[in-house]
């Protein structure tokens, strides 16, 4: 879904969202294949600030697409930091590999190929941060993994938690299944449990949830 940005988001993007040729190239490549669903540059900056704030050194990203958010995050890591990202689609894997190879942070990124449910079962923490941005219906499965593999005090971050503008009203919705809606509501409720998380939904254009894992 193409995003409609508010004037304020345009302003923030202009102020904070400068992109180099590599990031711009990813945007163009995704637009060419009709897949402009990556995070915005202002959200890339948000991820970078979160990484700096929390002293994150190890990240697991679920859902690479062409590597746009991975590059924003890898660029914010300190020396010795590492990002593991999971990618399923062969065409997207090829795109992302090319972009990582062109970047100055390719050695900080490991891309694992396959379905995230399977790949995650092979990944054992503790990691500092997880960024969930894959199939929306599986967010609770990914949170189950994060609860076991993100360190106490680590960050759980998730894109699209306002579910393309549908989250506040019950189904039916035109482009979102009732099952996905139910799953995202549950996911958001889990992160709102103050006995387990210190969290909030940041009202970016798509909703970006951020939660500190307290246990
Ligand atoms: C869409 C947007 C996203 O950020 C995403 O991860 C998946 C889908 C969309 O707008 O359809
Ligand atoms: Mg997304």
* pLDDT tens for each residue of 62-72: 999 999 999 99
- For the cut 60, the answer to whether the pLDDT of residue 93 exceeds it is yes
Give the rounded distance of the alpha carbon of 131 from its chain centre.
Answer: 4
pLDDT digits (tens, 9 = 90+) for 168-185: 999 999 999 999 999 999
**Distance between alpha carbon 146 and the CA centroid of its chain, in Å?**
13
Strand 58-62 to strand 109-113: parallel, antiparallel, or no bridges (unpaired)? unpaired
121 CA → ligand 2 middle, Å: 22
- Residue 169 CA to ligand 2 center (angstroms) comes to 20
Give the tokens for residue 150: 């993100």
Residue range 19-71, pLDDT digits in tens: 999 999 999 999 999 999 999 999 999 999 999 999 999 999 999 999 999 99
CB of 1 within 6 A of ligand 1: the answer is yes
pLDDT band of residue 4 (cuts 50, 70, 90) is confident
Nearest CA to ligand 1 atom 1: 37
For ligand 1, say whether the CB of 43 is within 6 Å of any of its atoms.
no
Verify whether ligand 1 is closer than 6 Å to residue 164 (CB atom): yes
- The CB of 37 under 6 Å from ligand 1? The reply is yes
Q: How many other β-carbons are positioned within 10 Å of the β-carbon of residue 135?
A: 17
Alpha carbon dihedral 60, 188, 209, 143, in 10-degree steps, equals -10
pTM confidence score = 0.98
């Amino acid at each position: 879904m193409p995003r409609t940005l508010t004037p304020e988001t345009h302003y923030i993007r202009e102020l904070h969202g400068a992109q180099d040729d590599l990031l711009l190239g990813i945007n163009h490549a995704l637009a060419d294949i009709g897949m402009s669903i990556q995070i915005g540059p202002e959200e890339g900056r948000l991820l970078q600030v979160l990484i700096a704030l929390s002293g994150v050194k190890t990240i697991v990203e679920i859902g690479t697409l062409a590597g746009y958010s991975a590059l924003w995050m890898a660029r914010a890591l300190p020396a010795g930091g590492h990002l593991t990202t999971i990618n399923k689609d062969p065409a997207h894997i090829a795109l992302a590999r090319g972009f990582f190879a062109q970047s100055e942070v390719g050695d900080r990124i490991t891309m694992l190929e396959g379905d995230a449910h399977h790949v995650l079962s092979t990944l054992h923490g503790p990691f500092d941060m997880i960024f969930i941005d894959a199939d929306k219906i599986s967010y609770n499965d990914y949170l189950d993994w994060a609860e076991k593999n993100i360190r106490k005090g680590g960050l759980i971050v998730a894109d699209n938690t306002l579910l393309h503008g549908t989250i506040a009203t019950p189904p039916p919705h035109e482009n979102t299944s009732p099952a996905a809606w139910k799953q995202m509501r549950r996911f958001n409720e889990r992160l709102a449990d103050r006995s387990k998380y210190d969290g909030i939904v940041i009202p970016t254009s798509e909703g970006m949830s951020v939660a500190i894992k307290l246990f």
